[in-house]
């Protein structure tokens, strides 16, 4: 005969009095199965768990907290965990769960503290390592995240999630070939097909410029999750960078049909050319604008979309209002400090007012493929220039690499005079990253525009390097930056027109100094001259590069190489001669700021 709740609780208490803790535990567990929220049974289990050498509470207590976490009741879960931690201070699991709750509430410092406490209790506690790694990744700290995941692999070499996360980190820092082996291990370890691993492999092949393999894995993932909006958008973005905008539009439209309020999808469709003449699209935008609870981020994407659409309709006043609002929203996502940039450029000026001529033994860090740095302000023609150069069979395109920034941060102090030791470490760091890219050609391109800051370091540390500095009408550059949304962080100056102009002037002064200090090392490619006479200017460029020129290099619109910048659509067309005039219809809105631009 089944006992009532009261009778069961009395039986458990009696079992405890008779020192039969095993029977008491069994009764409490049965009560919790039928009455999961019964506090008396929970408290009874908690007291029983404290006896002996138990480090963790009874699983039933842990499950009750897990239930709160699954229901996104993280504040309540933290309260419960804090009480349990008082009773079980040696439990790494409780600290790790607390860290996860704080992370989900975007409380980074508290999350980090809890994960560290878990690891202080047990330095080999895998959930805390994985949680710390995820927290670091969320804050774009991919190298320390890698260290956490590698520690996890030392404990469990076949840990599926650790391999997957290592692969994702390696993709983020520009090492798709190294990432492949880790994601492949995760793929083989999975007991069933997992879309997240399949997508990670699609991203690997995308970053290796292997479109067909990337497509294969994306389509496999979509078979598994045909209504995953994020997946459809990821695939659409990949299609765009490989020049398949029409196909991308199909997937974006499907994504929008699944979630009509997704303003990222609206902006992506505007970028591939969908406009308000499409009634369904216009109705969706109208509905989105009328939402009462539109977040600042959603409003930002909507404003950039409408800025693009209305510009094409030649409604310049309305377009500018949306572009301005989009930039206002975007700059409020950053804590950009213009004075910091001013300070960096002033330090660089002191370092390079005179040629440092630091000597060291380059043979200590031998270079395989030789770098061609394509740099300048964003939107100055760097993407087009790389496409032309990498059309040569002796050149591999590598796009916007972060390697140089990391090499500077880790090895060179702008506050001090350049020295041989720092430059050698800088060179070794960059070469170490490059060697992981499996480059088989004689040259490769590194097209990170903001590398213009480090031209002096490049010249001092890499005498083998070629430097192509793209120069374009300052107004065209600044307008092209201001009107575009940039997904990547690190361009905080771009979202305020006055600060953008001030930053451009810092760039202008810096490159003038570099050309004076190193008069024969930099090739300044005039964008306007190039688009007017590409064959003439192209021959000059390739003479500097010591490469043979061919007019076929200008036919890059059908190239299969990925283009992962805001210039994606432009470089899929023939060379366009009028882009530097696109700012002119907005003259009345930008004249005051642009009048401060230095020539």
Q: Supply the pTM of this predicted model.
A: 0.81
530: Cβ–Cβ under 8 A, 6 or more apart, which residues? 381, 384, 385, 537, 538
pLDDT at 566: 47
Torsion of CA 335, 337, 341, 344, to 10 degrees: -100
Whose structure tokens read 């590409």?
Answer: 534
pLDDT at 148: 95
Q: Are 326 and 392 in contact (CB under 8 A)?
A: no
Domains and CATH numbers, the chain: 227-333 (1.25.40.10), 338-594 (3.40.50.300)
Instruction: Tell me the percentage of the chain whose pLDDT exceeds 70.
Output: 94
For the residues of 484-522, what is the DSSP string, one character each? S---SSS-GGGGSHHHHHHHHHHHHHHHHHHHHHSTTTE
Residue 468: strand pairing partners = 374, 523
- The pLDDT tens digits for 362-374 are 889 999 999 999 9
Q: Are 585 and 320 in contact (CB under 8 A)?
A: no
pLDDT at 388: 94
443-446 and 395-397 beta bridge pairing = parallel
Q: Are 478 and 501 in contact (CB under 8 A)?
A: yes
SS3 label, residue 574:
coil
In whole angstroms, give the CA distance from residue 348 to residue 458: 13
For the residues of 61-85, what is the DSSP string, one character each? HHHHHHHHHHTT-HHHHHHHHHHHH
The segments of the chain whose pLDDT lies below 70 read 1-2, 19, 21-22, 48-55, 556-579, 599
Q: Of 272, 335, 264, whose CA–CA distance to 303 is shortest?
A: 264
395-397 and 466-471 beta bridge pairing = unpaired
Q: Of 491, 494, 487, whose CA–CA distance to 297 is shortest?
A: 487
Q: Per the structure block, which two tokens stand in for 565?
A: 């910048």
Q: Where are the beta strands (DSSP E) in 234-385?
A: 370-375
- The pLDDT tens digits for 287-337 are 999 888 889 999 999 999 999 999 999 999 999 999 999 999 999 888 889
Q: Are 214 and 238 in contact (CB under 8 A)?
A: yes
């Amino acid at each position: 005969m089944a006992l009532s709740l009261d009778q069961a609780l009395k039986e458990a208490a009696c079992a405890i009095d008779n020192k039969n803790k095993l029977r008491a535990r069994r009764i409490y567990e049965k009560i919790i199965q039928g009455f999961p929220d019964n506090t008396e049974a929970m408290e009874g289990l908690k007291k029983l768990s404290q006896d002996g050498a138990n480090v963790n509470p009874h699983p039933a207590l842990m499950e009750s907290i897990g239930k709160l976490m699954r229901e996104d009741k993280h504040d309540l879960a933290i309260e419960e965990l804090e009480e349990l931690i008082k009773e079980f201070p040696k439990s790494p699991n409780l600290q790790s769960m607390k860290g996860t709750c704080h992370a989900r509430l975007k409380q980074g410092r508290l999350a980090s503290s809890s994960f560290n406490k878990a690891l202080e209790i047990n330095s080999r506690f895998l959930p805390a390592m994985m949680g710390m790694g995820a927290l670091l990744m969320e804050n774009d700290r991919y190298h320390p995240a890698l260290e956490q995941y590698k520690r996890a692999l030392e404990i469990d070499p076949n840990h599926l999630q650790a391999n997957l996360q290592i692969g994702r980190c390696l993709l983020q820092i520009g090492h798709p070939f190294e990432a492949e082996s880790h994601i492949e291990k995760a793929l083989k370890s999975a007991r069933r097909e997992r879309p997240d691993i399949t997508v990670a492999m699609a991203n690997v092949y995308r970053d290796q410029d292997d479109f067909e393999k990337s497509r294969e894995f994306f389509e496999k993932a979509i078979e598994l999750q045909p209504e995953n909006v994020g997946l459809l958008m990821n695939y659409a973005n990949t299609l765009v960078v490989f020049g398949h905008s029409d196909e991308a539009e199909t997937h974006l439209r499907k994504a929008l049909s699944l979630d009509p309020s997704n303003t990222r999808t609206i902006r992506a469709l505007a970028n591939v050319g969908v406009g308000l003449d499409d009634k369904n699209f216009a109705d969706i935008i109208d509905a989105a604008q009328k939402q009462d609870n539109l977040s600042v981020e959603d409003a930002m994407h909507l404003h950039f979309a409408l800025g693009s659409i209305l510009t094409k309709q030649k409604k310049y006043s309305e377009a500018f209002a949306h572009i301005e609002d989009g930039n206002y929203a975007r700059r409020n996502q950053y804590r950009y400090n213009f004075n910091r940039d001013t300070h960096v450029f002033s330090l660089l000026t002191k370092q390079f007012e005179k040629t440092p001529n630091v000597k060291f033994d380059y043979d200590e860090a031998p270079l395989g493929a030789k770098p061609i740095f394509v740099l300048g302000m964003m939107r100055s023609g760097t993407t087009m220039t790389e496409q032309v150069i990498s059309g040569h069979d002796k050149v591999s395109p590598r796009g916007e690499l972060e390697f140089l920034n990391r090499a500077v941060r880790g090895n060179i102090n702008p506050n001090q005079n350049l020295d041989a030791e720092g430059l050698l470490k800088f060179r070794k760091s960059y070469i170490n990253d490059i060697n992981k890219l499996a480059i088989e050609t004689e040259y490769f391109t590194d097209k990170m525009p903001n590398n213009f800051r480090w031209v002096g370091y490049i010249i001092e540390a890499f005498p083998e390097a070629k430097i192509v500095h793209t120069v374009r009408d300052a107004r065209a550059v600044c307008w092209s930056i201001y009107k575009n949304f940039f997904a990547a962080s690190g361009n905080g100056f771009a979202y305020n027109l006055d600060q953008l102009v001030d930053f451009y002037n810092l760039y202008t002064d810096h490159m003038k100094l570099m050309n004076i200090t190193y008069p024969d090392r930099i090739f300044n490619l005039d964008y306007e001259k190039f688009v007017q006479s590409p064959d003439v200017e192209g021959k000059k460029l390739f003479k500097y590069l010591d490469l043979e020129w061919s007019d076929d290099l200008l036919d890059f619109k059908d190239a299969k190489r990925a283009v992962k910048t805001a210039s994606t659509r432009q470089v899929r067309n023939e060379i366009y001669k009028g882009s530097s005039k696109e700012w002119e219809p907005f003259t009345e809105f930008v004249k005051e700021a642009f009048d401060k631009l230095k020539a």
